[in-house]
Amino acid sequence: MSPFFFYLFAAILIFASLSVVLARNPLYNVLSLVVAIFALSCLFVILEAFFVGMILLLVYAGAVLVFFLFVVMCLNLNSLTLTTAAQSRFRWLGALAGLMFTSSFFLAFKSFIKAQTMDASSIRGTIEAIGKILFTDYLLPFELTSLLLMIAIFGIVSLAQGALSTGKDTDNS
């Protein structure tokens, strides 16, 4: 049962992420990232990391990607701004870098024999287990993330304020 579902969701994930990178329409990029996040969440459930899979669906597919869609629609990217974009001359260079990266990954995995023989443990990432360790051993990082989110809010507010005060004439390029 598990190998079939792993390969199914891995294939969905790979094709969706290829579509994120290669599709022309920004709307399709965002929507295929939603598909990729769904497949990723299914993989996490296969790995019995239930809490993280659920948070991934709620935060990523629910909030972050809706935010992306909102920005794509808000920017009103008409066909002109998309088609006048010249093709990148360094596209082959990026493909080469990705290929080299993948091959080096595979070489590293081949030498990593222990990964092939390791057995899956019986831990289950339920909310109870994650919550227990989150509020005991990892309390300080958890509190620091709230500080990070507050700094992010300050940054966005200051950006928006600058846009309001100086963005009256928007066509000064």
Partner 1 sequence: MITLGNYLALSGIIFSIGLMGVVTSRNVLKVLLSLELLLAASNISFVAFSKFNGDYAGQLIVFFVILVAAAEVAIGLAIVVLMYRRLSTIQADELRTMKW
Which residues in 80-109 contact partner 1 (CB under 8 A)? 81, 85, 88, 90-91, 93-95, 97-99, 101-102, 105-106, 109
Q: In degrees rounded to 5, what are phi and psi of residue 6?
A: -60, -50
Give the separation between CA 84 and CA 22, rounded to whole angstroms: 17
Structure tokens that stand for 34 in this block: 């939603």
Residue 48 within binding range of partner 1, rule CB under 8 A: yes
Residue 136 within binding range of partner 1, rule CB under 8 A: no
- CA triple 29-7-46, angle to 5 deg: 90
Residue 59 within binding range of partner 1, rule CB under 8 A: yes
Residue 127 within binding range of partner 1, rule CB under 8 A: no
Residue 121 within binding range of partner 1, rule CB under 8 A: yes
Residue 36 within binding range of partner 1, rule CB under 8 A: yes
Among 8, 12, 35, 130, binds partner 1 (CB under 8 A): 130
Give the separation between CA 69 and CA 60, rounded to whole angstroms: 12
Residue 139 within binding range of partner 1, rule CB under 8 A: no
Question: What are the start-end ranges of the H helices in 23-76?
Answer: 26-46, 50-55, 65-75
Whole-number minimum distance, CB 168 to partner 1, in Å? 11
| # of chain residues touching partner 1 (CB under 8 A) | 87
